[in-house]
Structure 1
Amino acid sequence: MAGRDREAGRRAGDGLVVRTGRKDDLPELVRIYNHYVTHSIITFDTQPVTVESRLQWFERFSETGPHQLFVATTGDRVLGCASSSPYRTHPAFDQTVELGVYVDPDARAAGIGSALYRTLIETLRSQPVHVALAGIALPNDASVALHRKFGFTDVGIFDEYATKNGGYISSVWMQLRLPSSG
């Protein structure tokens, strides 16, 4: 995404702007992500990340195509992000993406996740994406509800397939089929 400057963004009410992510957002995105690394099971990372270690993650996004990153801001404050990443590296999965959304813990339940997903999913509808997937560590009623709101349906549950903080984690997997771009 280096060199991207799509500043237009979408106004989502109350001064909220959803726009393409920029490299200078990384410190705040890392701060938000690390909150969930250390205080929850919603990410399977067990150690905080650094801006430097997230640079490779950031650089796989582009302004067009199936892998995108959107950031929600108000003024100079970054409130969260939503992204579409490769599901697997096999060519058979080129039209499948995995979505993720992270919202500043002080800004939850304010519609930021919805604003981010609305922009991301609307954008993906014009890209070569057939299926969007989401794996949600349980329990996480808010994330499950967000995904259902956007039309995701349950695919299945991986029961106790990961460990973090001394406990087993289960995840529900959900999918959203998008219209063919071809």
Structure 2
Amino acid sequence: MDAHSAEAPPALTARDATAEDWPRIRDIYAAGIEPGDATFESAPPPTWEAFAARKEFVLVACESGAGSRVLGWAGAARVSAREVYRGVVEHSLYVDPGAGGRGVGTFLMAALLEESRNRGIWTVQATVFPENAPSLALHRKFGFREVGRRERIALMGHGPLAGTWRDTVLLELRL
């Protein structure tokens, strides 16, 4: 296992994402966006460069072996350009719907937190729709705590809930 691996389920590895991974990352992200319970974004960015420019780092979880197909990705972005917040990131984590139930989300979260610690990050936060029970459960499994709820924070622009004002739950984990 490489430096990003953390108690991998059999046949999974984690590594830094590259531009070559963009088609899979984009497709996994688009699949996560479609149902409307993952993000306010209506589509992935148009290019790897636009995507990567928003992130401090991006990891991918891959099947081990010859194919090493990307099954999910996790990325972290600084919450502020101010120096005092240099160790605070907001993360995203998406798993290929076809890889559900294989521990990919748990594996990616562990790898994301390990990489965050290695980079001197002291707080990882997430903004989750309260209806996204699997995401809330994953975060709680890793010790994230709810620090607030933002009511009617933004108007949903896509998916089945387009035109609906949505709440979000703010979660954080101190490393």
TM-score for both structures, normalised by structure 2: 0.85
Do the aligned residues in 2 keep the contact of 1:38 with 1:48 (CA within 8 Å)?
A: no
- 2:170 maps to 173
- 2:62 maps to 73
Do the aligned residues in 2 keep the contact of 1:32 with 1:80 (CA within 8 Å)?
A: yes
One-letter amino acid of the counterpart of residue 170, structure 1: D
Do the aligned residues in 1 keep the contact of 2:153 with 2:166 (CA within 8 Å)?
A: yes
| Change in CA separation of 1:128 and 1:27 when aligned onto 2, cut-off 3 Å | same
- Distance in 1, matches of 2:171 and 2:3, equals 31
TM-score for both structures, normalised by structure 1: 0.82
Instruction: Report how far residue 118 of structure 1 moved.
Output: 0.7
Do the aligned residues in 2 keep the contact of 1:17 with 1:73 (CA within 8 Å)?
A: yes
Deviations 1:124-164 (A, max 9, x none): 22322121111112201111111111111110101121121
One-letter amino acid of the counterpart of residue 22, structure 1: T
Unaligned segments of structure 1, at least 5 residues = 1-6, 62-66
Deviations 1:48-96 (A, max 9, x none): 543x2x42221455xxxxx221101113321111111111223332111
Paired residue secondary structure (1:125): helix
Paired residue secondary structure (2:34): helix
Q: Greater shift after overlay, 22-31 or 103-112?
A: 103-112
- 1:144 maps to 136
Larger RCO, structures 1/2 (Cα 8 Å, 6+ apart): 2
Instruction: Report how far residue 9 of structure 1 moved.
Output: 5.4
Report the aligned-residue RMSD: 1.9
Q: How many residues align?
A: 165
- 2:24 maps to 28
Identity within the alignment, %: 32
